[in-house]
Amino acid sequence: CPNPSDLRTANGTRVCAQLYADDSAYYDQCCAGAVLVVNPNSDVPYMPRGWAARVSSLVVGTRCELTVWSRAGKKGNSRRFGA
């Protein structure tokens, strides 16, 4: 997985978090497959099409916090992740 301080787009713009579709019991094989990029100050109450219940690993950038909910529309239980 990338280091939280290294989360950037190809043009150098800071990324707040990256969510990955594939995971592994072996650390060097984690953070694989499709990637969903979360930009700073994003407020997304619904997962993009095809991503619901698909995220298996994530990395949150420095000075960022990612809050996720167990149900769509910011309902249900929530959990916060940081770098």
- pLDDT tens digits for range 1-43: 899 999 988 888 899 999 999 877 777 778 888 999 999 999 9
Tokens of 77: 């239980």
Is 43 within the bounds of a domain?
yes
Instruction: Please state, in angstroms and rounded to a whole number, the distance separating the CA atoms of residues 42 and 20.
Output: 17
Range of the domain at 64: 17-82
Is 6 within the bounds of a domain?
no
Domain count for the chain, please give it. Answer: 1
pLDDT at 64: 94
Is 1 within the bounds of a domain?
no
Is 5 within the bounds of a domain?
no
Please report the beta strands in the chain, taking only residues with DSSP state E, as ranges in sequence order: 17-22, 32-38, 57-60, 65-71, 75-82
Report pTM: 0.83
Is 38 within the bounds of a domain?
yes
Cβ-proximal residues to 29 (8 Å cutoff; 6+ apart), any chain? none
Given pLDDT bands bounded at 50, 70 and 90, which one contains residue 76?
very high
Tokens of 56: 């298996």
Is 10 within the bounds of a domain?
no
